[in-house]
Amino acid sequence: MSEKFDYEVLYIGAGHATFDGAAPLAESGVSVGVIESGLVGGTCPNRGCNAKIALDEPVKVTREAQRLNGILKGDISIDWTKNIEHKQEIIDVLPQGLTDRLENAGATIIKGFAQFQDEHTVIVDDQKKVTAEKIVIATGLRPHRLDIPGTDLAHDSEDFLNLKKLPKKLTIIGSGYIGMEFATMANESGADVTVMLHTDKVLRKFYQPYVQKVVDDLKKRGVTFIENSNVQAFAKKNDAYQITYGDNQTLTTDWILDATGRIPNLDNLGLEKIGVKYDKTGVFVNDHLQTNVENIYAAGDVVSNDLPKVTPAAYFESKYLMELFSGQTQDAIEYPVIPSVVFTSPRIAKAGMSVEEAKDKGYKISTNDLANYWYYQVDKEPIAESKQIHDNEGHLVGVTEVSDQAENAVNALLPAIQFKFDRKQVNQLIGIFPSIGYAAWHRA
Ligand SMILES: Cc1cc2nc3c(=O)[nH]c(=O)nc-3n(C[C@H](O)[C@H](O)[C@H](O)COP(=O)(O)OP(=O)(O)OC[C@H]3O[C@@H](n4cnc5c(N)ncnc54)[C@H](O)[C@@H]3O)c2cc1C
Ligand SMILES: NC(=O)c1ccc[n+]([C@@H]2O[C@H](COP(=O)([O-])OP(=O)(O)OC[C@H]3O[C@@H](n4cnc5c(N)ncnc54)[C@H](O)[C@@H]3O)[C@@H](O)[C@H]2O)c1
């Protein structure tokens, strides 16, 4: 225990970037404090991944049942209100569970909003002074809001995940992760959905031919996409809302979701006072996640880097800091392959080298027509394809898949990509048959 300070390590924020590492760090005997202004667990469990995937499950099941219609008898449809209630039941227990995990490990949770006073001192809710030898900024992101007249009439992803009743007409501004996942859920649950694009691109970080398959399918299901929409204003119109866009066109809707991205949670943190460098992309860190102020670190979504802003990245950084602070490593952080997926229906998942980069390098790109592979025909998947990329020595270096279980297929291939398995090693591992993992692996 540090004699000079209240804690050896103090985390600001209690999301994945904190708790995955803070709990084992406290268990190892380091004195740990965690300041959290909202729910312990942060975005992912409370208003992100867990909440979203609970709402998505009936969508996936409904789609499958539609495909198996004739074998399965009777119509099924989603009761939105019940779905929201079920989601809430599942996630309500998570903040307490994570609080217990941190406290049982020996960490102290301090509720309130933190502001730096100096590089070793933080003031919580303008009252309580907390000091620490090292401080980790892990404050995450918050929704970006369009700077246009009427912007307050729009809602964010958290509002959507808490909607007790699904609006009849829902308009989504933005076609990134949130725009596309929420358009899928709302459409399958019975809403009339319009997606307004900034440009003509949807999910620009994913393989575009697969994105197009998902967009075409959503169009067939009634979702409208407006490209280059140039959204200019929102206004209240009787019981509805009017969106002015394009060349002075208007659109009337019942509910507006602003899904135009997320920005670092750094307002009023007092970083200017202590000289920590950052910009609108996040906090600048070196290869030890250390800021320009020696004892201050940053982890998770709030860090300025090119990684996808996803839970596995926050988790990995949190674990790295735990190892650094407990003396298990002094090495620079070395990121593994970080996979990502968009939970549309079907999903698009990817890991490692992209198809575009593989083309530039002249690597081998194999196309797997999975819709015609027998195991994907079991549940009659019409949209299922993958690309596997092998380098010149025959190692699998990248994969992208569009299918209902693309996330599981990509997960199965991660060891081969991460550890550069050679042919002999790949052949040495056999999976359970039949399974999606097996189907992916036997092509590796
Ligand atoms: C709708 C949605 C769906 C998502 N789905 C997925 C998914 O399916 N898979 C995936 O991998 N990722 C998903 N993500 C991303 C994932 O949630 C984040 O990458 C992850 O939560 C980042 O963790 P973090 O700890 O860096 O930040 P956060 O979880 O955001 O935690 C930051 C915490 O800091 C607190 N805080 C901020 N400022 C202060 C302050 N001054 N004082 C005290 N506390 C403060 C906040 O209250 C918050 O609890 C999703 C995100 C959203 C919004
Ligand atoms: N499955 C997952 O892992 C998952 C799911 C949801 C969210 N997330 C995380 O949350 C973050 C935020 O998600 P997001 O979808 O808000 O961000 P995003 O960056 O994925 O997408 C933002 C979208 O808004 C559009 N946009 C920006 N300005 C606009 C304007 N003026 N008019 C119309 N469109 C505009 C962009 O073109 C883009 O399509 C993601 O970066 C991701 O890391 C992850």
Q: Is the pLDDT of residue 1 over 60?
A: no
Instruction: Tell me what percent of the residues of the chain surpass a pLDDT of 90.
Output: 98
Give 64-117 pLDDT, tens digit per residue.
999 999 999 998 999 999 999 999 999 999 999 999 999 999 999 999 999 999
- In short, whether 173's Cβ falls inside 6 Å of ligand 2 is yes
**CA–CA separation, 354 and 403 (whole Å):** 17
Q: Got the DSSP string for 310-360?
A: SHHHHHHHHHHHHHHHTTS--SPP------EEE-SSSEEEEEES-HHHHHH
Condensed to tens digits (0 to 9), the pLDDT of residues 388-439 reads 999 999 999 999 999 999 999 999 999 999 999 998 999 999 999 999 999 9
Structure confidence by residue, pLDDT tens digits, 236-266: 999 999 999 999 999 999 999 999 999 999 9
Distance CA 122, CA 94 (A): 27
Residue burial 18-52, b: 16+ Cβ < 10 Å; e: rest? bbbbbbbbbebebbbbbbbbbbbbbbbbbbbebbb
Q: Is 178 annotated as a binding residue?
A: yes
Tell me the best of 124, 155, 281, 311 to mutate to test the pocket of ligand 1, counting ligand atoms within 8 Å of each CB and taking the most: 311
- What is the per-residue pLDDT for 3? 74
pLDDT at residue 60, rounded to an integer: 96
Supply the pLDDT for residue 126. 92
**Binning pLDDT at 50, 70 and 90, where does residue 41 land?**
very high
The amino acid at 405: Q
* d(CA 215, ligand 1 centre) in Å: 27
> From the CB of 339, is ligand 2 less than 6 Å away?
no
pLDDT of residue 321: 98
Phi-psi domain of 29 (left: phi exceeds 0; alpha: psi -120 through 50; beta: other): left
Per-residue model confidence as pLDDT tens digits over 298-356: 999 999 999 999 999 999 999 999 999 999 999 999 999 999 999 999 999 999 999 99
Q: State the pLDDT at residue 50.
A: 98
Answer yes or no: is 366 a known binding residue: no
309: Cβ below 6 Å to ligand 1? Answer: yes
Closest ligand, as measured to the CA of 50: 1
C-alpha angle 28-34-40 in degrees, rounded to nearest 5: 110
Q: For residue 260, give the nearest of 178, 152, 323 by alpha carbon.
A: 178
Tokens 């999301």 belong to residue: 15
The Å distance, Cα 182 to ligand 1 centre, comes to: 17
Is 176 marked within a binding site?
A: yes
For residue 358, give Cα distances in angstroms to 201, 353, 387, 389, 390.
21, 7, 11, 7, 9
* pTM assigned to the model: 0.97
Give the model's pLDDT for residue 444: 85
- Note the helical H segments in 74-227: 80-92, 94-105, 157-161, 177-188, 208-220
**Does ligand 1 lie within 6 Å of residue 196's CB atom?**
no
Residue 52 makes CB contacts below 8 A (sequence gap 6+) with 161, 181, 185, 343
- Give the per-residue pLDDT at 2: 54
Distance from the alpha carbon of residue 314 to the mean position of ligand 1, in angstroms: 9
Q: Could you identify the atom of ligand 1 that is nearest to the CA of residue 161?
A: 1
Domains and CATH numbers, the chain: 7-143+263-325 (3.50.50.60), 151-260 (3.50.50.60), 346-443 (3.30.390.30)
Residue nearest to atom 1 of ligand 1 (CA): 48
Testing ligand 2's pocket by substitution, the residue of 151, 215, 262 carrying the most ligand atoms inside 8 A of its CB is 262
Q: Which ligand is nearest to the CA of 43?
A: 1
Distance 261 CA to ligand 2 centre (A): 4
């990684």: which residue's tokens? Answer: 307
Tens digits of residue pLDDT in 108-146: 999 999 999 999 999 999 999 999 999 999 999 999 999
The Cα–Cα gap between 409 and 394 comes to: 19
Question: What is the mean pLDDT of the segment spanning 40-55?
Answer: 98
